[in-house]
Every structure is written in C-alpha cells, then in structure tokens.
Amino acid sequence: MAGIYLHIPFCKQACHYCDFHFSTSLKLKDSIITSICKEIELQQSFAKNDQISTIYLGGGTPSLLNATELNRIFNQIYKCFNVYTNVEITIEANPDDLNFSYLYSLKKETPINRLSIGIQSFYNEDLKAMNRAHDAKDSKSVISKAQDIGFNNISADLIFGTHTMSLDRWKNNLKMMLNFKIPHISIYGLTVEPKTAWEHFIKTGKYPKLNDKTFEEQFLMTQQILTEAGFRQYEISNYAQEGGHSKHNSSYWNGSEYLGIGPSSHSYYDGKRYWNLNNNTQYLKALSQNKIPSTEEVLSERDRYNEFIMTQLRLINGLSKTSLKVFDKKYQDYFNQEIKSLLLAKEILESPTHFWIPSEKRILTDRISQALFYVD
C-alpha cells in the first residue's frame, strides 16, 4: 500500500511560528494546480504494482482550493494510479475556510473523507500571538459544523507552550476539544524555528523566551487528560481513539512508499528519497518543460540509522529489534552498547521484540534518542 502527499503552497497569511513552504499571493494558484496535474502524470509509474491507500493534501493551506480545483487533482490521480476503494483522503483545513457551503461542497462533490483542522487554540489571545487567520469563534464552531455535514473522521490540532498559554487555559483547550468527540487529536509543542517571525520576536524582546517548565507541565497534562478520555498516544504528537489513527502519517513512520507532489514535497520510493524544489515559480517553469524539479536525497547509512532511531522512538510501540538488523554491525553494536544505561535508568523498556520509551519519560524523547545517535 502506498501514499500520495500533495503540497498546496498557498496561505492567506503567515503564522508567526511557521517555516513551511507557502506563498501568501494566490496569483499562481491556477498554474500550480495545472503543474501538479502534470507532475502526477509524469509520476504515473509510481507504485505500478501497488494500490494508493492514502492521499493527503497538506501545505500551505489546501482548503484555499475550491471543490472544482480539488477535483481537477483527484481526477488526475484516479486517471494515473490504481486507487484503493477504501482510500483515506485527508485535507488539512483552516477553520476560517470551513464555512457551511464549502464544507458541503467538500462532502458532496469531492472524494475527501477525512479533515485535519488547524484549531491550535480556542482563545483569541493565543491565536493572535500565532497570527492565525481565524478567531476563537471559528475554533469553537467549525468541528460541529463539519460533523453536522457528515464528516466523522476528523483530526484537529492544538499547540501548547506559547507564552500566552497558561496551564488553566491549556486544560480548557483540551477539555473543549474532547467535547467534540472526534477520533484523532494532534498536539504540538511550539518550537521556535530559525528565520520565523517568532524567532525574530524573541530576539528583539517582543515575545518572551519559551518556558521549559510550563512546556513540560502542559505536555504531561495532555498525556493525562487525553489518556483518561480514552485516547492512545500512538506517536509523541498524535492521539487517537481505537481505529482513529492517521493511516497516511502512520505509513511514513512504518517505512511505506509515498510520492510527494508539488513544490517542497518529499518522496520515498525504490529505497530512495527525493525532494522537490521549494520555489513556486521555478516549480512551474520545470513542469512547463515536462521536468520534475526534484533532487535525490542521498543519506549515508549513519544518517539512516539516526533517523530510524528518531522516528521509531516517537512511536508508542517503539523500535523493532528486527528492523534494527538491516543496519551494519557497527551500528547494531553501538546501539547495543548505548542502550544499556538507558535500560538501567528505565528511560527505555524492552520486550523480546521491541524497545520503547515509557509514557512518563516520553517528554525526554529527543534527549533519549540523541543518546543513541551515532556520531562519527
């Protein structure tokens, strides 16, 4: 089973924390859709002997495309690939785009069957600090609106750790989210990425530095509240009710093949990784000449080993001992040596088949993974 990721590189405005590739000018929207369709055609040999089981529209803001524009892309996918009957098709959507008539058109006119909604907070002060395009009223109304229209497979995102987020407010955000009874919730701790407005605001004193203690308290509070409500933290940032996990994202973590389409998208197939150019104009130019502007990413075995450690330890099931065996003995020996102290400190637990980080230590995931990284 293989997946397709489509990157829609447009947003209404730039969120202060975001370092993804997007443009706030929609001038090139139509041409980019045409080029995306072209790229799909050029990539039709992907997964020739397989079925496409997940399609994920991310970005950027895919909900800036109307149903007709989305169907141009879907029709092309159905024409070029063998799509599984029960395919999971997710669109990332922002609350300000999801008015009743848009939701209705997504439900009635497109094959989309899963929404991933960027709520981030139910409070205006947080949304304003993040420079989100929606307000608290949108956050509070959008999920029920989508459910009323018939979308049941819904995921929603929340962000903790901002200077505006008190412990009480974070607790309320989680409780409000739980009231909607959706099957999937993604929880992200704010990270200050280089060259973002947020980083600039901290450097210039406009925003305070993030508080590590609050960050940790909010992470632990999330685990407690969502677990008590019946959610499983199947990946460090992702919680799902039974059967509600994201099939698309799980395939990234499980090493399945995926094809990325659109500027800045990444792909993994035939044992290689590729990434597309992150420039809309150059992307258009290349596709107008029937060329895919992608570069093969050559990872050394050390990089692959380190990445394997990092992604697998983020999963609740942890790292499989069998998968570790694909690496050179040098890396296996290193792992077996370094894991000893982590096992002793109970920061990692072991079964006959897996190693994993217990839930009370998951806040330390980055530090624990780094202890197992191979450094030349």
Q: Is the peptide bond before 271 cis (omega within 30 degrees of 0)?
A: no
**Residue 373 binds ligand SF4 (CB under 6 A):** no
CB of 12 to ligand SF4, least distance (A): 7
Q: Which is nearer to ligand SF4, 40 or 133 (CB)?
A: 133
Pairwise CA distance, residues 287 & 280, whole Å: 11
Stretch that binds ligand SF4, among 8-16, 45-53, 164-172, 196-204 (CB under 6 A): 8-16
Pairwise CA distance, residues 26 & 30, whole Å: 8
CB of 184 to ligand SF4, least distance (A): 18
Alpha carbons within 13 A on the beta-carbon side of 264: 16
Stretch that binds ligand SF4, among 57-65, 144-152, 154-162, 338-346 (CB under 6 A): 57-65
Crossing angle between the packed helical segments 136-149 and 100-109, to the nearest 10 degrees: 30
Pairwise CA distance, residues 194 & 98, whole Å: 31
Of 59, 62, 244, 263, the one binding ligand SF4 by CB under 6 A = 59
CB of 361 to ligand SF4, least distance (A): 29
Is 275 in contact with 21 (CB distance < 8 Å)? no
Of 14, 178, 221, 324, the one binding ligand SF4 by CB under 6 A = 14
Of 11, 40, 57, 357, the one binding ligand SF4 by CB under 6 A = 11
Nearest alpha-carbon partner for 60 in 262, 239, 200: 262
Stretch that binds ligand SF4, among 14-22, 44-52, 190-198, 360-368 (CB under 6 A): 14-22
CB of 352 to ligand SF4, least distance (A): 42
What residues does 93 pair with on adjacent strands? 117
Q: Which is nearer to ligand SF4, 83 or 190 (CB)?
A: 190
Stretch that binds ligand SF4, among 59-67, 161-169, 250-258, 268-276 (CB under 6 A): 59-67
Of 6, 15, 143, 158, the one binding ligand SF4 by CB under 6 A = 15
Q: Is 182 helix (H, G, I), strand (E, B) or coil?
A: coil
Pairwise CA distance, residues 34 & 72, whole Å: 8
**Residue 94 binds ligand SF4 (CB under 6 A):** yes
* DSSP 8-state symbol, 194: T
Q: Is 265 helix (H, G, I), strand (E, B) or coil?
A: coil
- # binding residues, ligand SF4 (CB under 6 A): 10
Pairwise CA distance, residues 89 & 74, whole Å: 10
- Extract the tokens encoding 100: 């009743």
Q: Which is nearer to ligand SF4, 20 or 180 (CB)?
A: 20
Summarize as ranges the residues that interact with ligand SF4 (CB under 6 A): 11, 14-15, 18, 20, 22, 59-61, 94
